[in-house]
Chain A
Amino acid sequence: MADERTERHFADGQAPPDQIGSRVLRKEDHRLLTGKGRFGSDVDRSRMLHVRVVRSSVAAGTITAIRTEEARAVAGVVDVVTAADLPGDLRIPVRLLVQGVDLSEHLQPVLARDTVRYVGEPVAVVVAEDAYAAEDGAELVDVEVEPDDVFLDARTAPADRIAADFTLGYGDVDAAFDAAAHVVECRFDIGRHTAVPLEPRALVVDYLPGSGDLEIFGATKVPVFNRQVLAGLLEVDPESIRMHAVDAGGGFGVRGEFYPEDFLVPWLARRLRCSLSWVEDRAEHLVAVNHSREQSHQIGVALDDNGFILALRDDIWHDNGAYVRTHGIIVPELTVAMLPGPYRVPAYSGRVHVALTNKTPCGTYRAPGRFEGTTVREQLFDQVAAEIGVDRVELRRRNLLRRDELPHRREINTLGTDMVLDSGDYPGLLERALARARELQWPELVEAARAEGRRVGLGVSMFLEKSGLGPSDTADVEVTGSGRIRVHSGGTSLGQGIETVLAQVVADEFRVDTDLVDVINGDTLLQPYGTGSWASRSTVVAGNAVSGAGKQVVARMLEIASRVLEVSPDDLEVGRGQVQVRGVLDRALSFRDVWRDTQPGSAWLRPEESAGLSARFRFNIEHMTYPYGAHICVVEVDPDTGGVQVLKYLVAYEVGRAVNPTLVEGQLRGGVAQGVGGALLEQFSYDESGQPQATTFMDYLMPTASEVPDVELIVCEDAPADTNALGVRGAGEGGLTGAGAAVASAVSAALDQPSMSALPLTPSRLLQCLRDEAGTHARAANA
């Protein structure tokens, strides 16, 4: 069958065009659009039981009693467990340790034992025959808590609530500030919000009674790491656990990290010797999943007479919620490390206080640290422009690192790697973006609207991203018995299209169409060394791993075929779905023929030579690669309601090489939607007793199609990354990184303010701003 298809493909005698760079349709879409995707809660097992987590309804306190009798009496309830039933004081370890900070005291227990620290913290678990009975039982678990004082403000956190306090930087900042012609400072706060994927988390654990082994479906992100952690906590062999990353309705950083449920559900499956399903509901999701972003910055910059930066310093209070979770302190670390961005900053000091508060613990959310840092830095620059009387864009032009200044080494270490900004043309990209905005006549649009008295403004932000975090990833590539190509990668499919991208990369190695390639992601049995999908790294790291493995299989095919065809491997090539003699197209073997010649018993196989056509390749990368971009937008503020409408939006982003431009565009558009949400709508607020106020979609406002603007895109391929052979830079986050800054910049322009002071820019906040302004004018008029 496959051969037929192959032949059809190549009937015209042409090799297929390069797959890399083409707008190949997504391989995953047929299955997803015809309802055949397999998500966590689609997995069903016979006599599977259902899990419901009982969560603390108090933000801080001492547990004095947990009564489970009533819950146990509910029809259908099978088991109720609390911390007392656990084998010990189990805490979830940090996945990424940085800056040598010991966080072991602050790790989250899998179930609260003596104290609770946030509303939503797991305190007990109910297992029942169906999800309804489980919820009935959970309601009747009586948790008695003696309330304690609640801490909700990172800035005033006492010393014992500071999990980490560190400074990154270089150069003599104090001297620079002392000598500066201008010093500008401001405070800026970023609101607490996070990734809210359409599909909440889900886990199905299949218990295999004979061996006690577990198969786990749904931990889509870093399955190999999660397996390691789970095996450690359960004290079993990692090989006895098989994780399957399944389809996922969005990840954005929060899905697939190791949460309490990722221990509790498998542990209960072993305890009860049966298969279990846990499906998070939205109300749980909004208090249980990692929150992100909440920071308060006191930032300052020193400049010379000509508006050139001499030094930058920032003092950051990072609200990490109640515990330190798997991400450790990488969000605050990335915030400080990436804060100088694409600019020439001769001296820099960024200090961050990581405070623990009585709120949901935090982790990464798409563009972690960069959304926060970019927003604050760019707002500071807008403030500078106003104070020293320079045009906002001109100020940036002066200070962006020029092409000839790259690569640029910053004396900062982040995520365990040295920071070397690779090739690029930052000012060039800014000019391209501005030129496009002029071509679209956005400046005229703003002018015309303002002439009518409308509050319209244009905002610009520049940002630096990071991607392709190593140290490595591993992939297996195999030619199968029907002549197809199969990839076992460590990437995971979170909706970003990684199956398609990896298929394109491999297809080019074999000179075939992506239809001939099957990509299986995130199965720990098939790929025990995969490092998962996060941090805009998969196309870079998994992509290069797959490319390397593909090259090795092709080489082996040529070698085997050379024995059969009796020509030197150097005279052979792959093309038209076969191995052929260069220039003599009819002297060829199909992939299936070559496969057959590698099977045990084949005369072409040498003694003790392994059978089959497969290779495992580990790709190593030392430094990250740094994509960069600009956002430009036009907004209108309604001065009577404070409402903001985003009228126009543009993203220009350098990706080195777009493996699939359509997918890059999709990534950027999705990022803008989330960025607009974070800038204008989304916020987890708490009342003074630590009760979360946004626990449904009535109060946690996700942007909808009506609030998200059309996005004009410039996907640049002007600066291929020199850190990897494909030349690719990650494209996953740049749609989001500059959005808070651009929207804030546009709103401040619309309101004739130098800069804003906090996100989200809520209507009541903006009306207050307008009222203050009116008050100032009135006072000025009276004076």
Chain B
Amino acid sequence: MKPASFEYHRAHDVAEVVELLVELGDDAKIIAGGQSLAPMMNFRLARPSALVDVNPVSGLDYIRREGDLLRIGAMTRHRDVEISRDPEVHDGFAVLPRAARWIGHYPIRCRGTVGGSMAHSDPTAEWCLLALLHDASVVVQGPRGQRTVPVAEWFTGFLTTSGEYDEMVVETQFARPRAYGALTEYARRRGDFAISAVGVAFDKVDNRLTDVSVVLGGVAGVPVRATEAEAMLEGSPATPETWVAASRNAAASVNPPSDLNGDGDYRRQLVETLMQRAFVEALAEGARR
């Protein structure tokens, strides 16, 4: 569990990061919080020839509200979002700080970054699920300048994204604020990556669900949207019958792989349970405000 040898560079601003990435080529990697990359290097599952440490880069840790967008800088630590409380900022995105507490353990949340999580793109990572839930876009900067990638085009497969080797994630923009939201998950121990996770977000008009999103984690190589269930829910009364039926549909729509934690059926059952709990939690939390 000692990493293979690598060069180490520190960068102080995004331009320098990009310069270094171009110069070092596609075997180099950015290191941010190191909470995913360092273990992978220790297991020698990742063996970058060089690391570009982006921790000295300033100006990328922020949580900002601009109209319907919530913009989170890439170097914002999970913990910073978890403890952020400004109602102006979080109006319509209240699920974000609540969901952040599910990420690993306290020391991991203090180091790991939102940008790192989006770049790493684990299919059960909270940020990745929330990004899909809130139609986020990922802002990357590279030698060809900045581009904004809608989340649907960002995840391309298990732990892979459409980001290029010479690009740095600088921001994630969460969109579509909604009054009600929740992310529920199940793991065998507190702090573990979820076996399955479900996120829901919606508004409620005349006790009917509108603008509904449902995302599922841990059921495929990337986070997925339960589009059929969303259609079932849209405009339906906000009653248990509605989400029980929709959660059955969502569970039936996926074909999760088997692993140590259980077979596909087990994960499907979890999806059903977690989705129902997500609706209950979202409504309860929404009512509290």
Taken together as a complex, chains A and B put the C-alpha atoms of A706 and B191 apart, in Å, by 9
For A696, what are the chain B residues with a Cβ–Cβ distance below 8 Å? 43
| Interface assignment of A704: CB less than 8 Å from any CB of chain B | yes
- Interface residue? A640 (CB, 8 A): yes
Spot the interface stretch: B171-179, B218-226, B266-274: B266-274
Chain B residues near A132 (CB-CB < 8 A): 2-3, 5
Cross-chain contact A701 with B188 (CB below 8 angstroms):
yes
| Across-interface contacts of A640 in B (CB, < 8 A) | 269, 273, 277
Q: A136-B5, A281-B1, A282-B1 are in contact. Are A681 and B262 (CB under 8 A)?
A: no
Shortest distance between the CB of A41 and any CB in chain B (Å): 13
The interface stretch among A147-155, A388-396, A762-770 is: A762-770
In the assembled complex, A367 has its CB within 8 A of some CB on chain B: no
Residues 225-275 of B at the A interface (beta carbon under 8 Å): 260-263, 266, 269-270, 273
Chain A residues, Cβ within 8 Å of B3: 132
Within 8 A of A (CB), among B35-50: 43-44
A764 touches B261 (CB 8 A): yes
Query: In the complex, which residues of chain B have a beta carbon less than 8 angstroms from the beta carbon of A157?
Result: none
Mask, B180-224, CB within 8 Å of A = 1, is: 000000101111110000000000000000000000000000000
Q: How far is the CB of A644 from chain B (nearest CB, A)?
A: 9
Whether the pair B190, A764 counts as a contact (CB closer than 8 A) is no
B266 touches which of A136, A699, A763 (Cβ 8 Å): A763
Residues of A within 8 A of B273 (CB): 640-641
B4 within 8 A of A: yes
Q: Which residue of A lies closest to B196 (CB)?
A: A641
Q: Does A694 contact B (CB under 8 A)?
A: yes
Chain A hits for B188, CB < 8 A: 643, 681, 701, 762-763
CB distance from A343 to the nearest CB of B (A): 34
Within 8 A of B (CB), among A270-285: 281-283
Point out the residues of chain A lying under 8 angstroms from B260, CB to CB: 683, 685, 693-694, 699
Contact A704 B191 (CB under 8 A): yes
Residues of A close to B191: CB separation below 8 A: 704, 706
- Please tell me the number of chain A residues within 8 Å of chain B, measured between CB atoms: 30
Q: Which of A283, A683, A704, A764 contacts B189 (CB 8 A)?
A: A704
Q: A283-B43, A640-B273, A764-B261 are in contact. Are A135 and B2 (CB under 8 A)?
A: yes
A768: chain B residues within 8 A (beta carbon): 266
Question: Residues 138-149 of chain B: 1 if any A CB is under 8 Å from the residue's CB, otherwise 0?
Answer: 000000000000
CB distance from A134 to the nearest CB of B (A): 8
Does A139 touch B at the CB level, under 8 Å?
Answer: yes
CA distance A33 to B193 in the complex (A): 32
Name the residue on A nearest B272 (C-beta): A640
- B1-31: CB near A (< 8 Å → 1, else 0) gives 1111100000000000000000000000000
Q: Which residues of A contact B270 (CB under 8 A)?
A: 641
A767, B266: Cβ atoms under 8 Å? yes
User: Which chain A residue shows the least CB distance to B190?
Assistant: A706
Flag if A139 contacts B262 (CB, 8 Å).
no
A282: B residues at CB distance < 8 A: 1
- Residue of A with least CB distance to B261: A764
> Do B262 and A131 touch across chains, with their CB atoms under 8 A apart?
no
Residues 688-710 of chain A: 1 if any B CB is under 8 Å from the residue's CB, otherwise 0? 00000110101101011011000
A762, B262: Cβ atoms closer than 8 Å: yes
A643-B43 contact given A764-B263, A764-B266, CB 8 Å threshold: no
Contact A131 B186 (CB under 8 A): no
Interface string of A670-692 (1 = CB under 8 A from B): 00000000000101010000000
Residues of B within 8 A of A (CB): 1-5, 43-44, 186, 188-193, 260-263, 266, 269-270, 273, 277
Q: Which residues of A approach B to under 8 Å, CB–CB?
A: 131-132, 135-136, 139, 281-283, 640-643, 681, 683, 685, 693-694, 696, 698-699, 701, 703-704, 706-707, 762-764, 767-768
Q: Pull 22 A–B residue pairs with CB atoms less than 8 Å apart, ordered by A.
A: A131-B2, A132-B2, A132-B3, A132-B5, A283-B43, A640-B273, A641-B186, A641-B270, A643-B186, A683-B260, A696-B43, A701-B189, A701-B192, A704-B191, A706-B190, A762-B261, A763-B188, A763-B261, A763-B262, A764-B266, A767-B262, A768-B266
List 4 extra interface pairs beyond A131-B2, A701-B189, A706-B191, CB under 8 A: A643-B188, A701-B188, A706-B189, A764-B262
